[in-house]
Amino acid sequence: MPNPNGTQTVIDLTHTLDDHSPNWEGTEHSPFQARELGNLQRDGYYSRIFTTQEHYGTHLDAPAHFAGRAWTVEQIPTERLVRPLAVLNVRGKALHNPEYEVSVQDIAAWEAEHGEIPDGAVVMAYTGWDEYWSSQKKYRNEQADGLMHFPGFSLEAVQFLIKTRNVVGLGIDTMGVEKGATTTYPIHQFTAQAGIYHLENVAGLGLVPPSGATLVVAPVKLENGSGAPVRLLALVR
Ligand SMILES: [Zn+2]
């Protein structure tokens, strides 16, 4: 079946939404539950009712998550949801260093190879952390200080990307774009004010070329959403 617009491959960057994914609070009971309503044998059709948190599984953070009078999920303009994708590969530095923060130097290294990050792109950090997805303990990596420890972006890198490269979204294959051990969320504050969305718990970033793919960001169009489950597809030429 031919793909549209010269696309060679469509890569899924989404974890399946289920009741056995890591959750932010680290609870045994999953925030996602699905219950059968219609049974094929009994009713002639199959259907379910499900409940979930807005920030569970592969999801989008709307700017309203950390700022008043900012876009909620359904208000994010559609032209911001289909964008060039740049993937910063920091796996070698981050996979065994949960304190790692993506730096301006990582961006410079990407640009030395691929040219300037395209205007209006989504920039994702590939830390390799999704290898821990099947273990809530490893993925959350909560330590004796009571904080989670996983890699994220540095505030300097985020400010550089937004101010000088006009990115519209940030993504990462950990629980948050900000390192796990933060307690003050300076990146979330900054991006929310700037109208930038986040994509968290992203899957499969090792399969995408660092440059040249188009990202399709398709969140559930949830009224008043601070965030929502999202389907992420990378179109590769
Ligand atoms: Zn979130």
Q: How confident is residue 4, by pLDDT bands cut at 50, 70 and 90?
A: confident
Span from the CA of 188 to the centroid of ligand 1 (angstroms)? 10
pLDDT above 90 for 133: yes
Span from the CA of 207 to the centroid of ligand 1 (angstroms)? 23
Span from the CA of 176 to the centroid of ligand 1 (angstroms)? 7
Q: How confident is residue 6, by pLDDT bands cut at 50, 70 and 90?
A: confident
pLDDT above 90 for 5: no
pTM for the whole structure: 0.96
Span from the CA of 49 to the centroid of ligand 1 (angstroms)? 23
Q: How confident is residue 28, by pLDDT bands cut at 50, 70 and 90?
A: very high
Per-residue confidence (pLDDT) for residue 7, from 0 to 100: 83
Per-residue confidence (pLDDT) for residue 2, from 0 to 100: 77
DSSP 8-state secondary structure symbol assigned to residue 142: B
Dihedral through CA 88, CA 93, CA 95, CA 97, nearest 10? -130
Q: What are the helix (H) ranges across the chain? A: 40-43, 91-94, 104-114, 136-140, 155-165, 186-194
Span from the CA of 1 to the centroid of ligand 1 (angstroms)? 35
Q: What is the mean pLDDT of residues 90-103?
A: 96
Q: What is the mean pLDDT of residues 39-46?
A: 98
Strands 169-172 and 197-200: parallel
> What are the tens digits of pLDDT across the range 171-227?
999 999 999 999 999 999 999 999 999 999 999 999 999 999 999 999 999 999 999
Pick 28 or 6 by higher pLDDT. Answer: 28
Span from the CA of 220 to the centroid of ligand 1 (angstroms)? 14
Q: What is the mean pLDDT of the chain?
A: 96
Span from the CA of 225 to the centroid of ligand 1 (angstroms)? 11
Span from the CA of 118 to the centroid of ligand 1 (angstroms)? 25
Span from the CA of 199 to the centroid of ligand 1 (angstroms)? 8
Span from the CA of 58 to the centroid of ligand 1 (angstroms)? 9
d(CA 200, CA 176): 5
